[in-house]
Structure 1
């Protein structure tokens, strides 16, 4: 029979017994504060209450920090990507051959800069023809207006003759035939006025038609030059020299990267915490950081992910931020009282809750659960603590609730 496995098992059982049932004694002995049995330990035959009192009087040395609550700006994390502020595919509105040299992708273009120029063909001749029709229609208008004036004069003369004939007929100096003739002359003169007015209207309509023809010809000529709608970069080459463009055919794609948008998506639980105009900090996958403001917050959730689109606009003077880069957004929300503590001060209780161990008014250790707000270079911001608390920053793992502690306070400057 082998004796070593039995000895090993016995040693392990003894170690487990000491760690589980004699933990306080071991911790006190390890801290160097365990007094001789004759002075600190209760008598062997002492009652259990006296024995527990003797153990409670032992104090563990710890280092603590006076912490006061501060109004800390909280933030919500959103992941997304960069997106050009504008992106337009410039397309042709008419047909024609390209007669301009192409611009290569990546070139910077300004607003109204020519991108593609089409061959005018017979469009200049069509413009001249429309201008000639306008001159012809304009020359006809005075003649038509003169005929109208003449026709109105004839009406006045015929009406005078008709009145005179009617009076003479009443006195017996004119026959009925003469009266009827003068009345017929009046009607004929009025018909001439209507005809003259029709001539004036026709001349005016000819002028309007000629003007419309000129405007159409000029607009058709203007469509021959396709220009950039805004300052930006060419994402594609412009159409090649000699290529035939039809209506709707693309000339080039122009994107605007200054300013640029950072697009992220918020969960339903976070969307109400963000408002338009809030400050936001972004970190790109390349390590570059930038700051901007929230300019758009969707009111409608994505039907698949149930998230809400949020857009942050930032300056991009050097065009160093590209379209489609991965971005991590930290969007500021309303500030909350919180404590800035070293990350090493955090611990877990037996139930797995995150918290800290603090020194209460009786100089005993006490576990306090916390809610982690965010992690920074200076430390971690936590919520759920009183406005003022003494946080154990060294030795918190060697004490439990109710253990008496000998506290040394840490200077904030340290």
Structure 2
């Protein structure tokens, strides 16, 4: 049996016991505890930080309000004032040469002419039927007059027979015969008037047939509804057009529209009739016009409002669909130019800025953004002179006292 490993294990266990459970005694044995106690006695007590040292330090800029032109800036595009697809209303073969796209079109100019076929003959037939119907009216009127004369004669005979019968000079048979003759005459008048009504109805039917045939004939000539420019070739010679088939597309570029979408935060700044300008992309130059329309219903996806501006375009240099940067004038406003990073939200989620008053107490003010620039953003809702916290605003809340450091700013 080996004794040395057992003795080594006992010694190691005793050393660990002294190092862990009897550590103070061991330190005192070597004099370490006495030195630490002495050092502890000589150290000064830790002093708690004062209230002033607990205040947060922030960076503040003193900003003054300025009167600016609160113009609304939009990104939009140009759009034709009117665009229409001119289509056929009847079925026929095109017999006119096509007009090529890009051509100028005047109001009433023929764009497509279609083959008449038998439509001219149908119109002549309808006119002949109208003339025949009209010729029947005088005959029907004469029959009515003749029937009325017979009725009048029968009524006279009836009256005479009735008086003679009352005096005993005429028989009852004669009186009945007179009554029958009067009734027959009355029926003749009704029949004649019915014939006259039928003749007049025949005239109206014939007139409707003439109008229908004339309209069908007029549909063979497709004309431009307004001045403009052809955006596509008209129908080719010899092609068959069915009802609804495209003859050609016309767009009107003078005047032209600028179309943009105003955010709901700025829609109240835009009014119909306000002056507006735009810078067109790709060297299109600058143009001016007036606001003609502001939508009352917001787009459900973007929550923006459609706005249209009418711009003169006599030379047709502005094309449909060009990108434009639009500037709409509105009434001036007192605003502050502040760093965008100074914006923050309060506990209710309201957008605003944190200020410092004369007593270095933090205050929160709600703001409205007027315009975004490269130097900062213009906002309203602040006092005329505002001490805005630009660094550290996220670490303080309304009502606490801070240590402000003012930074010079140039507006």
TMscore range, shorter length: 0.5 to 0.7
Cα distance in 2 between the residues matched to 1:161 and 1:348: 111
Match of 1:263 among 259, 278, 296: 259
**What TM-score, normalized to structure 1?**
0.67
Question: What's the secondary structure of 2:149's corresponding residue?
Answer: helix
Cα distance in 1 between the residues matched to 2:184 and 2:138: 23
Superimposed CA distance per residue, residues 81-109 of structure 1 (whole angstroms, 9 cap, x where no aligned partner): 11111110001001100010000011110
Matched, 1:92 2:92: no
User: Which segments of 5 or more consecutive residues in structure 2 lack a partner in the other structure?
Assistant: 1-63, 345-366, 386-403
Cα distance in 2 between the residues matched to 1:303 and 1:338: 31
Cα distance in 2 between the residues matched to 1:93 and 1:374: 52
Question: What's the secondary structure of 1:149's corresponding residue?
Answer: helix
Q: Which residue of 1 aligns with 2:111?
A: 115
Match of 2:309 among 300, 303, 312: 312
Q: Which residue of 2 aligns with 1:149?
A: 145
Question: What's the secondary structure of 2:130's corresponding residue?
Answer: helix
| Pair 140,381 (structure 1): closer, same or farther in 2 beyond 3 Å | same
| Pair 112,172 (structure 1): closer, same or farther in 2 beyond 3 Å | same
Matched, 1:243 2:233: no
| Pair 151,310 (structure 1): closer, same or farther in 2 beyond 3 Å | same
The 8 Å contact of residues 72 and 371 in structure 2, kept in 1 or not, is answered as: no
The 8 Å contact of residues 88 and 243 in structure 2, kept in 1 or not, is answered as: yes
Cα distance in 2 between the residues matched to 1:245 and 1:275: 46
**What TM-score, normalized to structure 2?**
0.67
Superimposed CA distance per residue, residues 167-193 of structure 1 (whole angstroms, 9 cap, x where no aligned partner): 112222211111110100000000000
| Pair 123,99 (structure 1): closer, same or farther in 2 beyond 3 Å | same
For residue 336 of structure 1, report the CA deviation from its aligned partner.
2.1
Superimposed CA distance per residue, residues 313-340 of structure 1 (whole angstroms, 9 cap, x where no aligned partner): 111111111111111111112112469x
For residue 302 of structure 1, report the CA deviation from its aligned partner.
1.2
Cα distance in 1 between the residues matched to 2:210 and 2:161: 54
Match of 2:272 among 257, 269, 276: 276
For residue 141 of structure 1, report the CA deviation from its aligned partner.
0.6
Question: What's the secondary structure of 1:139's corresponding residue?
Answer: helix
For residue 273 of structure 1, report the CA deviation from its aligned partner.
1.5
For residue 72 of structure 1, report the CA deviation from its aligned partner.
3.5
Matched, 1:200 2:196: yes
Superimposed CA distance per residue, residues 62-89 of structure 1 (whole angstroms, 9 cap, x where no aligned partner): xxxxxx9875422111111111111100
Q: Which residue of 1 aligns with 2:319?
A: 322
Cα distance in 2 between the residues matched to 1:103 and 1:162: 80
Cα distance in 2 between the residues matched to 1:371 and 1:217: 66
Q: Which residue of 2 aligns with 1:23?
A: none
Matched, 1:137 2:133: yes
Match of 2:69 among 73, 78, 90: 73
Matched, 1:101 2:90: no
User: Within 5 Å, which residues of 2 pair with 1:227-242?
Assistant: 227-242=223-238
Question: What's the secondary structure of 2:324's corresponding residue?
Answer: strand
Q: Which residue of 2 aligns with 1:50?
A: none
Q: Which residue of 2 aligns with 1:219?
A: 215
Matched, 1:331 2:328: yes
For residue 155 of structure 1, report the CA deviation from its aligned partner.
0.6
User: Within 5 Å, which residues of 2 pair with 1:332-371?
Assistant: 332-337=329-334
For residue 352 of structure 1, report the CA deviation from its aligned partner.
9.9
Larger Rg: 2
| Pair 375,170 (structure 1): closer, same or farther in 2 beyond 3 Å | closer
Match of 2:291 among 294, 300, 314: 294
| Pair 382,80 (structure 1): closer, same or farther in 2 beyond 3 Å | closer
The 8 Å contact of residues 372 and 380 in structure 1, kept in 2 or not, is answered as: no
Cα distance in 2 between the residues matched to 1:176 and 1:240: 87
| Pair 382,166 (structure 1): closer, same or farther in 2 beyond 3 Å | closer
Question: What's the secondary structure of 2:309's corresponding residue?
Answer: strand
Cα distance in 1 between the residues matched to 2:323 and 2:169: 108
Q: Which residue of 2 aligns with 1:303?
A: 300
